[in-house]
Amino acid sequence: MDLAAARRLEPTTVKGKVRPLERGHAENIGIEGRYFGNVGDVDGDVMYRTEIHDEPSHSISKQTAPNSVAYTVCSKQRSPARRSHLRQTWHMTSPSTLDWYGCATFRLKTADLTIFLDAYIDRVPSAAGTGLTADDIDECDWIVVGHSHFDHLWGAERIAKNTGATIICSYESVRVMEQAGVPTDQLICVAGGETIELGNGVKVSVYPSQHSCVWSHSQMGQPDQVCIGELGVTWHEQQERMADLMRYLQEETAPEVVAHIVAGAPGHSERGDGGALVFLFETPDGSLFFQDTSGHWSGVLRDIRPDVAILGAAGRGNIDGEPVQGSLAQFVARQADLLRPKKVILGHHDDWLPGFSIPTDTAPIREELGRVVPTTSMIEMGYLESMAIFD
Ligand SMILES: [Zn+2]
């Protein structure tokens, strides 16, 4: 769009979320009197590209706000009508960023929104982590939770209470949150198939998923450990093995681990994971897939094409209800092959609960990804190392 076309834009203030095509040019706007960027309409669907070069008849002012910057271009001409006609504001959001809080918990900041992906932040003293608890989170608009286990859901009740955030999660997670005192108007039940507008041109779609085969092991294994067999294990057998796992956790781990599990347990029931979900965020910057446990329905994943994928990398992978015949590294690479993202970000691979989790050697996953999906890069984030994810 040229300047003449920009002048015809109505209303006089262009609202909506904008992302700069070339941030360098956008930053120069006040200095060079030049605008170069992407302008979106209020729904975020139509994107305009506008250039204003060296217009001495215009003044350009810049207003900054948390996570966004707005540029207003005004005519310097005397006629008020003309001046008003040319007054236009472009809101330019900062690039979307992601922070890792350990285990499978991330914070996505995009288009002026703060979104937690899972909410498990508290840790036992011996565990690696951020040193924070869910009580420390004072800014959040939305929380999505992949499943009901405490190492994903516990903390959402406090974040929701302290920030007024709305939680999007399974019916079982909603039941647990309601019991923990979260008002129902801050809870959205999903089962897969829903798309929810989060505001500012951001939406999230929910898909059904699978939990890792946690019943098949006591402690986590390393990613290059090949596991075969255990096909066709019935629900009853799985329940017996889960009971063995719980006995192991209660009797063979440190007292602080037991106390931690008990603290995170209120409201939980034998219903277990409550049905796992995965999420696809679409933002003005790009799309982000979020999975918090190593399982999937292959028919669901193969049609999703995110720019970036967070993949759970822990335990025995679950493919369409059966344990992967191979290693965790092979499982992660197979998922990346279905999704074909530009970047894979690992989750759930740190030593979040010593005695059950292990410090994971991620080299075999990187190697396998390089072999199966060479155009996908793998990213291991450090705790709270904010990263621009779509750059
Ligand atoms: Zn789980």
Averaged pLDDT, 367-386: 95
Say how far apart CA 49 and CA 36 lie, in whole Å: 8
Averaged pLDDT, 69-75: 54
What are residue 58's DSSP bridge partners? 75
Asked if the model's pLDDT at residue 92 lies above 70, the reply is no
Confidence category of residue 3, pLDDT binned at 50, 70, 90: very low
**CA atoms within 13 Å, Cβ hemisphere of 254:** 12
| Cα of 147 from ligand 1 centre, angstroms | 7
| Cα of 118 from ligand 1 centre, angstroms | 11
| Cα of 59 from ligand 1 centre, angstroms | 55
Predicted local confidence at residue 123, as pLDDT: 94
| Cα of 80 from ligand 1 centre, angstroms | 62
Asked if the model's pLDDT at residue 49 lies above 50, the reply is no
| Cα of 348 from ligand 1 centre, angstroms | 10
Confidence category of residue 241, pLDDT binned at 50, 70, 90: confident
**Selected residue with higher pLDDT from 355 and 339:** 339
| Cα of 293 from ligand 1 centre, angstroms | 6
Long-range contacts of 128-133 (CB under 8 A, 24+ apart): 128/102, 128/350, 128/351, 128/352, 128/359, 128/383, 129/101, 129/102, 129/350, 129/352, 129/383, 130/101, 130/102, 130/383, 130/384, 132/101, 133/158
Predicted local confidence at residue 109, as pLDDT: 95
| Cα of 173 from ligand 1 centre, angstroms | 12
| Cα of 70 from ligand 1 centre, angstroms | 42
What mean pLDDT value characterizes the chain? 80
Q: Quick check: 295 and 209 in contact, CB under 8 A?
A: yes
| Cα of 368 from ligand 1 centre, angstroms | 24
Asked if the model's pLDDT at residue 174 lies above 50, the reply is yes
CA distance from start to end of the chain: 25
Task: Convert the pLDDT of each residue in 201-225 to its tens digit.
Answer: 899 999 999 999 988 876 677 888 8
Lowest-confidence range among 3-12, 102-111, 123-132, 307-316?
A: 3-12
| Cα of 146 from ligand 1 centre, angstroms | 9
| Cα of 351 from ligand 1 centre, angstroms | 15
| Cα of 212 from ligand 1 centre, angstroms | 7
Asked if the model's pLDDT at residue 58 lies above 90, the reply is no
Predicted local confidence at residue 35, as pLDDT: 37
Say how far apart CA 391 and CA 383 lie, in whole Å: 20
| Cα of 103 from ligand 1 centre, angstroms | 11
Say how far apart CA 240 and CA 245 lie, in whole Å: 9
Confidence category of residue 77, pLDDT binned at 50, 70, 90: low
**Selected residue with higher pLDDT from 183 and 56:** 183
Q: Quick check: 75 and 58 in contact, CB under 8 A?
A: yes
| Cα of 276 from ligand 1 centre, angstroms | 8
Say how far apart CA 202 and CA 353 lie, in whole Å: 33
| Cα of 225 from ligand 1 centre, angstroms | 20
Averaged pLDDT, 166-195: 96
Confidence category of residue 338, pLDDT binned at 50, 70, 90: very high
| Cα of 169 from ligand 1 centre, angstroms | 14
Asked if the model's pLDDT at residue 175 lies above 50, the reply is yes
Say how far apart CA 362 and CA 339 lie, in whole Å: 20
Predicted local confidence at residue 93, as pLDDT: 56
| Cα of 344 from ligand 1 centre, angstroms | 20
Neighbouring C-beta atoms of residue 279, cutoff 10 Å: 24
CATH class of domain segment(s) 97-388: alpha beta
Asked if the model's pLDDT at residue 24 lies above 90, the reply is no
Confidence category of residue 283, pLDDT binned at 50, 70, 90: very high
| Cα of 149 from ligand 1 centre, angstroms | 5
| Cα of 274 from ligand 1 centre, angstroms | 9
| Cα of 141 from ligand 1 centre, angstroms | 24
| Cα of 48 from ligand 1 centre, angstroms | 43
What kind and span of H or E run contains 345?
strand 343-347
| Cα of 5 from ligand 1 centre, angstroms | 54
| Cα of 84 from ligand 1 centre, angstroms | 57
| Cα of 375 from ligand 1 centre, angstroms | 30
| Cα of 183 from ligand 1 centre, angstroms | 24
Asked if the model's pLDDT at residue 292 lies above 60, the reply is yes
In this prediction the pTM is 0.78
Confidence category of residue 90, pLDDT binned at 50, 70, 90: low
Predicted local confidence at residue 65, as pLDDT: 53
Which sequence spans correspond to the domains of the chain? 3-93, 97-388
Residue with structure tokens 């999230």? 204
